Amino acid sequence: MAKVEILAVLLGVICLAGTIAITALPTWKVTAFIGANLIVMEELQEGLWMNCIRHANFRMQCKAYDSVLILPGDLQAGRGLMCLSITLIIFAIILMSCGLKQSSLCQDNMKKKNSILAAGGSLYLVSFLTTLIPVCWVSHSIITDFYNPTLGDSQKRELGSALYIGWATSVLLLITGVILLTRSSKRKTPEEQYYAEEERNVQDKNSFSFTKTLSSIHKNQVYV
């Protein structure tokens, strides 16, 4: 069972790194087009904080947005939700570290550790939603605009690599949250373990007595 908790810790760290990468990358919306001069090819990239232009010689120029108000609604919401996701994951990692069975915090109070671990798992599930919503929202906007006949080719965008990383990170966040909640519900306090062992011993004794009684009855029937 300790291996499951270690796996959850590793997944939590990977989720944090993935969420930070998604938030920082400018490749949410990408468009590649060829201008009037066929020799010049540019790729436009739009992220939550900046837009970039990558030229054919792989030279990239980036510029931060002058104002949040110039961003479309999906990117504005994405910026806020992704920052919220990072904050939630950081708190989830802290709670998860405190709720581990090997943790020296809370001493041997397993009931309190289970509650802390469940709280960490709940934060992971909330961060799963706050990460998945902006990724799906931006993807829907890109696909809708792509098939909009009123928009020119230069205005249409494609799905960037940050969105694919976002979907993968969302799945890991969901898995981590489920692992922690499942683990917190299955761990028993020392008192619960004691009573469970006592109940098991009583059941074993009753089973042995019942078997012995049946054996005695069978012997009496044979003698008769």
Most confident segment among 34-43, 44-53, 77-86, 189-198 = 77-86
Neighbouring residues of 127: CB distance < 8 A, sequence distance ≥ 6: 15, 19, 84, 85, 88, 89, 92, 173
Compute the distance between CA of residue 73 and CA of residue 140 in angstroms, rounded to an integer: 12
Q: Are residues 153 and 101 in the same domain?
A: yes
Contact 130, 81 (CB under 8 A): yes
Please count the other Cβ atoms lying within 10 Å of the Cβ belonging to residue 216.
10
Neighbouring residues of 159: CB distance < 8 A, sequence distance ≥ 6: 30, 139, 142, 143
User: pLDDT at position 44, please?
Assistant: 85
Q: Are residues 175 and 103 in the same domain?
A: yes
Q: Are residues 55 and 141 in the same domain?
A: yes
Q: Are residues 124 and 14 in the same domain?
A: yes
Q: Are residues 157 and 197 in the same domain?
A: no
Cα dihedral 185, 108, 88, 177 in deg (nearest 10) = -20
Percent of the chain exceeding pLDDT 70 equals 73
58: left (phi over 0), alpha (psi -120 to 50) or beta: left
Q: Are residues 197 and 139 in the same domain?
A: no
Q: Are residues 80 and 143 in the same domain?
A: yes
Q: Are residues 21 and 8 in the same domain?
A: yes
Q: Which of 90-94, 110-114, 160-164 has the lowest mean pLDDT?
A: 110-114
User: pLDDT at position 153, please?
Assistant: 73
Is the pLDDT at 3 greater than 90? The verdict is no
Mean pLDDT of 173-194: 76
Structural domain boundaries enclosing 221 = 190-224
Q: Are residues 97 and 152 in the same domain?
A: yes
Contact 60, 44 (CB under 8 A): no
Cα maximum dimension of the chain: 111
Per-residue confidence band for 114, with pLDDT thresholds at 50, 70 and 90: confident
Q: Are residues 30 and 55 in the same domain?
A: yes
Q: Are residues 204 and 142 in the same domain?
A: no
User: pLDDT at position 38, please?
Assistant: 42
- For the stretch 124-183, pLDDT in tens is 999 999 999 999 999 999 999 888 888 777 778 889 999 999 999 999 999 999 999 998
Q: Tally the domains of the chain.
A: 2
CATH number at residue 127: 1.20.140.150
